[in-house]
């Protein structure tokens, strides 16, 4: 067992962790260390394309060593506990790490077991998902080979990483089935928890047009509550009543919460059973432990969780942590911006940019055109953004 101490420790080397570490390093902050157990980094937005047949699985992953920002240290381990009173982390290996400032960004936990039967169902021959890397590749084959029958897609209730991404493989598959001449023989059902397909009128209008075009049966204000994988029945709940929905293929996204080690820590707000790290929604600093910061999917921010939100969040946290190291107040503020690019066909995207009150927040001020179905945003989402991710975002340059 060993103990080390670092100026800034970043817990989690995913999208948020590498990006914020890269920014700090570029700003001249010395002794930045990332704790990350995985050997392979995952670009999760690509999972939707993998499942929908518009990208290969290999395009969603790279060796972690190849994406670590230069000059940033890497401890290949996982954090098991945090003692924010003594600025100390315990690692799974038994080692401990001390910090002056710690940035928590360990992502979100997929709670497959919270819905009875779901974990077994997505691993069965008639089940898939794109919220795990291996299942996304499986989904691609199952969706491609489906010729007829009922396919049920589900989006979970509660906080989720890029919740709208639950719908993406469905639109991609429908476009493929239409081109293959089998769409009329496939009954597509989409289960969404909210009152409308998304929740912002302009985006709803665009998505509902595609839903009608593909003949999708949209079930709003509905949740998946149980699955019987053996008899291929999804049990769904709406308005207090349950219904048994037989399927030929189930493509499901699980309910989600903060990782268990965070739930068990002192970092969530009192009474927050989902366990996300409590932060000031603007400065992203912990209100009770000033050396603790959180961003990305692990943080109890008010925005809808997405990688697109991190462009602004990482800028804010890097500036505020740098100020804190110099004994200055945190003045940089996050504005709640987030994004969900809906791949509504194999060549178009509806680019939903919005804030934490579900108001449109377009990058090009006053122009809502990107929120309409466009080829331009497809090119951006499928071809430009992945390059920007691997070469700029993970280095803290974008």
- Please select the residue that binds ligand FAD; options are 198, 261, 354, 389, rule is CB under 6 A: 261
Q: Is 68 in the site for ligand FAD (CB under 6 A)?
A: no
Q: Is 259 in the site for ligand FAD (CB under 6 A)?
A: yes
> In whole angstroms, what is the distance from residue 341 CA to residue 164 CA?
8
25 vs 306, beta carbon nearer ligand FAD: 306
- Please select the residue that binds ligand FAD; options are 8, 102, 118, 162, rule is CB under 6 A: 162
Q: Is 37 in the site for ligand FAD (CB under 6 A)?
A: yes
Q: Is 38 in the site for ligand FAD (CB under 6 A)?
A: yes
| Residues in binding contact with ligand FAD, number by CB under 6 A | 36
> By C-alpha distance, which of 114, 112, 122 is closest to 232?
122
Q: Is 13 in the site for ligand FAD (CB under 6 A)?
A: yes
| Binders in 116-135 for ligand FAD, by CB under 6 A | 130-131
> In whole angstroms, what is the distance from residue 164 CA to residue 11 CA?
26
DSSP tally for the chain: helices H, then strands E: 11, 21
> In whole angstroms, what is the distance from residue 295 CA to residue 300 CA?
8
Q: What is the number of the residue whose Cβ is closest to ligand FAD? A: 14
Give SS3 for 191.
strand
> By C-alpha distance, which of 241, 240, 274, 244 is closest to 260?
274
**In this chain, which stretch among 160-168, 188-196, 209-217, 240-248 interacts with ligand FAD, using CB under 6 A?**
160-168
- Is-contact 65 75, C-beta < 8 A? no
**In this chain, which stretch among 54-62, 180-188, 226-234, 298-306 interacts with ligand FAD, using CB under 6 A?**
298-306
- Please select the residue that binds ligand FAD; options are 10, 24, 32, 36, rule is CB under 6 A: 36
Closest contact distance (angstroms) between CB of 47 and ligand FAD is: 4
Contact letters (x/-) for ligand FAD, 300-339, by CB under 6 A?
A: -----xxxx------------------------------x
- Please select the residue that binds ligand FAD; options are 106, 257, 283, 345, rule is CB under 6 A: 106
Closest contact distance (angstroms) between CB of 164 and ligand FAD is: 8
Query: What is the signed CA dihedral for 206, 212, 218, 220, rounded to 10 degrees?
Result: 40
Instruction: Tell me whether strands 79-83 and 88-91 are parallel, antiparallel or unpaired.
Output: antiparallel
Structure tokens at 189: 């059902």
Q: Is 351 in the site for ligand FAD (CB under 6 A)?
A: no
> By C-alpha distance, which of 109, 108, 186 is closest to 153?
186
Buried b (16+ CB within 10 A) or exposed e, 64-88: beebbbeebbbbebbbeebebeebb
- Is-contact 30 327, C-beta < 8 A? no
Contact letters (x/-) for ligand FAD, 218-257, by CB under 6 A?
A: ----------------------------------------
- Please select the residue that binds ligand FAD; options are 8, 9, 10, 16, rule is CB under 6 A: 16
Closest contact distance (angstroms) between CB of 123 and ligand FAD is: 17
- Please select the residue that binds ligand FAD; options are 61, 101, 154, 161, rule is CB under 6 A: 161
- Is-contact 116 227, C-beta < 8 A? yes
> In whole angstroms, what is the distance from residue 202 CA to residue 167 CA?
17
Phi and psi at 186, nearest 5°, equal -115, 125
- Is-contact 247 191, C-beta < 8 A? no
Element (H, E) at 156: none
Closest contact distance (angstroms) between CB of 184 and ligand FAD is: 28
Residue 33's DSSP bridge partners are: 9, 73
Interaction site with ligand FAD (CB under 6 A): 11-17, 35-38, 44-45, 47-48, 78-79, 105-107, 130-131, 161-162, 165, 259, 261, 296-298, 305-308, 339, 341
């Amino acid at each position: 067992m060993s103990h080390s101490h670092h100026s800034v420790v970043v817990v989690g080397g995913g999208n948020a962790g590498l990006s914020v570490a890269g920014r700090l390093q570029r700003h001249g902050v010395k002794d930045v260390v990332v704790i990350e157990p995985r050997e392979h980094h995952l670009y999760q937005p690509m999972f939707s394309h993998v499942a929908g047949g518009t990208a290969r699985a290999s395009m969603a992953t790279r060796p972690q060593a190849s994406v670590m920002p230069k000059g940033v240290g890497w401890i290949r381990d996982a954090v098991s506990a945090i003692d924010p009173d003594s600025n100390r982390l315990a690692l799974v290996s038994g080692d401990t790490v001390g910090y002056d400032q710690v940035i928590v960004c360990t992502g979100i936990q997929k709670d497959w077991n919270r819905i009875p039967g779901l974990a077994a169902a997505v691993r069965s021959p008639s089940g898939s998902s794109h919220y795990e890397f291996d299942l996304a590749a499986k989904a691609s084959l199952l969706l491609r080979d489906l010729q007829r029958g009922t396919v049920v897609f589900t989006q979970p209730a509660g906080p989720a990483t890029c919740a709208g991404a639950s719908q993406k493989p469905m639109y991609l598959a429908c476009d493929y089935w239409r081109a293959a001449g089998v769409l009329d023989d496939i009954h597509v059902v989409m289960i969404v928890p909210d009152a409308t397909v998304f929740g912002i009128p302009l985006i709803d209008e665009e998505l509902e047009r595609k839903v009608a075009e593909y003949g999708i049966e949209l079930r709003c204000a509905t949740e998946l509550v149980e699955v019987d994988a053996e008899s291929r029945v999804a049990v769904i709940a709406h308005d207090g009543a349950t219904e048994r929905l037989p399927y030929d293929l189930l493509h499901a996204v699980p309910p989600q919460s903060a990782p268990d080690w965070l739930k068990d820590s002192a970092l969530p707000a009192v009474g927050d059973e989902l366990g996300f790290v409590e932060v000031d929604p603007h400065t992203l600093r912990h209100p009770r432990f000033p050396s603790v910061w959180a961003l990305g999917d692990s943080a109890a921010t008010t925005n809808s969780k997405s990688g697109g939100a991190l462009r602004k969040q990482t800028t804010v946290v890097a500036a505020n942590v740098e100020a804190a190291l110099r004994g200055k107040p945190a003045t940089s503020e996050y504005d709640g911006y987030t994004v969900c690019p809906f791949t509504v066909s194999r060549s178009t995207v509806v680019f939903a940019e919005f804030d934490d009150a579900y108001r449109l927040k377009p990058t090009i001020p006053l122009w809502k055109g990107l929120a309409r179905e466009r080829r331009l945003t497809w090119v951006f989402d499928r071809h430009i953004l992945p390059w920007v991710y691997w070469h700029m975002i993970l280095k803290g340059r974008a």
